[in-house]
Amino acid sequence: MDEELKAMEDNNTWTLTQLPPNKHTIGCRWVYKIKCKADGTVDRYRARLVAKGYTQQAGVDFRDTFSPVAKLATVRVLLSLAAIKGWSLWQMDVNNTFLNGDLFEEVYMELPLGHKDRNKGLVCKLNHVVYLLVYVDDIILASASSTMLSNVQKLLQSIFKLKILGDLKYFFGLEIAKSTDGIHLCQRKYTLNLLQDTNFTTCKPTALPMEPNLKLSSTDGTHLSDPSLYRRLVGRLMYLTISRPEITYAVNTLSQFMKSPNSSHMDALHHILRYLKGSPGQALFFPANSDIRLMAYADSDWVGCPDTRRSVAGYCTFIGNSLIS
């Protein structure tokens, strides 16, 4: 807690001032968390002082909000290109600093190094480009040039207090393993924790995430007395679809009944957990030997929803042999 307060003071996180008339103060609380590595061992203990933002009213206590958060699905695109082109991948953690638009102005306003072409203008060299992916206070850097990576790290360190974590291995529950053949992306630890929390570690596994030809309806089964457990499980499974796209259809189908789930919906949810028990370490593989071709496939089930009579459509997008969405 002392380290947290000192870091906030060093970064000038706040400025003491008088409370304006007819305004109320917003309280804060301490949040404690144990950050673990991919193998489950303790990485570090963390204490965070956070404001009770839920006590604020939009238009009264605040107006516009901004936070540069990239969708984690874009991690797949970054990993597929990094595998094909052999880019270096680094990660870092921003300590006690709210990232704002100044970060992107500092990094991106300068034109990349390149050469002039009379017909095409400025042509950028790929080995002089650094890709920067921000998720809250965690950052992934990717580049073909180790020098450029070092320069961007120094630039960021001059603006923020950073912790350089080295090669990308464990990022927000995502386990990344890189080799000469390509890059593996999985969430094995996340899956095992999910099975342990739901007492499904000793269940009998199934071969498919959902029963074939299963048509769920809002009128199936009996109403759950406490739907909060159902909603939490669906939310956790949504995060797991980052590396397990084969459960996307089943999870998206069950997410349509979040408002009023029934027992049949919970049974289908347990079916997904039994499927995960059979392959907790299944991963996405982004091969290094692949073409940079964008390909997409789509399919639809005519009038497939029994409640709305709407068609159910699905798609998948590849860069070469790498599934990205």
pLDDT (average), residues 18-30:
87
Instruction: Express each pLDDT in 159-217 by its tens digit.
Output: 777 888 889 998 888 999 999 999 999 999 999 999 999 999 999 999 999 998 888 88
pLDDT at 66: 59
Q: How far apart are the first and last CA of the chain?
A: 40
188-224 burial: b if 16+ Cβ within 10 Å, else e:
bbbbbbbbeebebeeeeebeebbeeeeebebebbeeb
The reported pTM is 0.76
Q: Is the pLDDT of residue 130 over 60?
A: yes
pLDDT at 127: 56
pLDDT (average), residues 97-117:
47
pLDDT, averaged across the chain: 84
